[in-house]
Structure 1
């Protein structure tokens, strides 16, 4: 088990790898290491892992006092690694989610929220923190009023708006059952193949057709070869 100030990672055998992110705790090198550790285990599993990320909490007080650009960059890089990991990633959000909790939530594939969940961009010196959560919110729900108000003024995005904007994908009072169902579905999906399709979807937002075509044809060729191998 890897532990840190605001998260821990666990998981053995065939069960999901789990990561707990407390957005109320200060970001640290241990935080980065814990996420890197679960990504490493998922990568070593050769496409068979499922990662469940539990997120809650939001920063208060002078939460940015100990931060540096170097640490924030390391954090953003490890989140990008989580976003690309060859595994299905499932987030479980409860209560207010901001800071590292919101960052991790927005980097996952499937997001489950309890009924009272709110998404909050952290504030610093009266302004919204300009981290990559701001980027992901705007990229995933462009032009949405709720996201614009959050980005400019730090307004909370309530769970109903988050669901309508597809920032979360399930809202439930039975979180455990929702996680079990999502994990069971994900267990039948190759994380390696999912990662390829995830990247194709990411690239579609910024890459032109002609440039994208070659990558998609390569993915089609890979799929056909895998199917032929399974049939022989």
Structure 2
């Protein structure tokens, strides 16, 4: 099962489950789209929890088309830009779709035994947008280059050091509940603005960024004046 739009860890929480061991199909694309649509239609206080596990094995890309890969990447981009906090929970080996979805979330919780696996096809690392996110998110370019060129799996100690995961725990349910509570009062639309500001900072110069940041400051001041949380 990919989609589970109930609230098992709190009110206004949507859950989607991505199995990286499955072949990419329209089903996980639709599951991501469904959870995004519900979060976008909400009141701005939703949280989306993405459970990820599994890694592809063998010749898993044989029947893929570029069109299907593009639909998957666009669905992840929608998830990445949601006006809602997104939290990943990783268990076991996470590769393929599982790694893709993990890297598109805001906060990542992993079991101590989890591993991040860069999927290989035809003897080379799969050149999907996971490579792009790795390069943007990891401060150590040399470490990313080694993983991208030569593959392998990253244990949680390495992943934590690279900021690819933010919590490693043997109490996943407790950590998830705490994370959901922490973001429950956050305005999803304003979170999305701040997320984009931090992403843009890596490529946009100061003068170009200043106006957007001032506009965000102005909105925050208006919210304070109105007595709402910023």
TM category, shorter = over 0.9
Calculate the TM-score normalised by the size of structure 1.
0.94
SS in structure 2 at match of 1:157: strand
Structure 1, gaps ≥5 residues long: none
Q: 1:90 corresponds to which residue? A: 87
Identify the residue that residue 63 of structure 1 maps to in structure 2: 60
Rounded to whole Å, the distance in 2 between the matches of 1:62 and 1:106 is 23
Q: Would the aligned equivalents of 2:139 and 2:162 in 1 still touch at CA under 8 Å?
A: no
Q: Contact 2:140/2:162 (CA < 8 Å) preserved in 1?
A: no
* Runs of at least 5 residues in structure 2 that lack an aligned partner in the other structure: none
Matches for 1:43-54 after TM superposition, within 5 Å: 43-54=40-51
Matched, 1:16 2:13: yes
Mapped to 1, the partners of 2:140 and 2:170 lie a distance apart of 29
Q: Aligned with 1:19: secondary structure?
A: strand
Runs (4+) off by over 4 Å: none
Partner of 1:229: 226
TM-score, length basis structure 2:
0.94
Task: Tell me which residue corresponds to 2:152.
Answer: 155
Matched, 1:204 2:204: no
What RMSD over aligned residues (CA atoms) do the two structures have, in Å?
Answer: 1.4
Q: Work out the CA distance in 2 between the residues paired with 1:227 and 1:143.
A: 38
1:165 equivalent in structure 2: 162
> What is the rounded CA distance, in whole Å, between the counterparts of 1:182 and 1:125 in structure 2?
39
Q: How many residues align?
A: 226
Residue 112 of structure 1 aligns to a residue whose secondary structure is strand
- In the alignment, what sits opposite 1:193? 190
CA distance in 1, matches of 2:12, 2:170: 23
| CA distance in 2: counterparts of 1:221 and 1:63, whole angstroms | 49
Give per-residue Cα distances to partners, 1:143-188, cap 9 Å, x unaligned: 3444222200112111101001111000000101000000011111
Provide the rounded CA distance (Å) in 2 between the counterparts of 1:129 and 1:157. Answer: 16
In structure 2, distance between residues paired with 1:10 and 1:46: 16
| Structure-1 separation of matches of 2:170 and 2:142 | 26
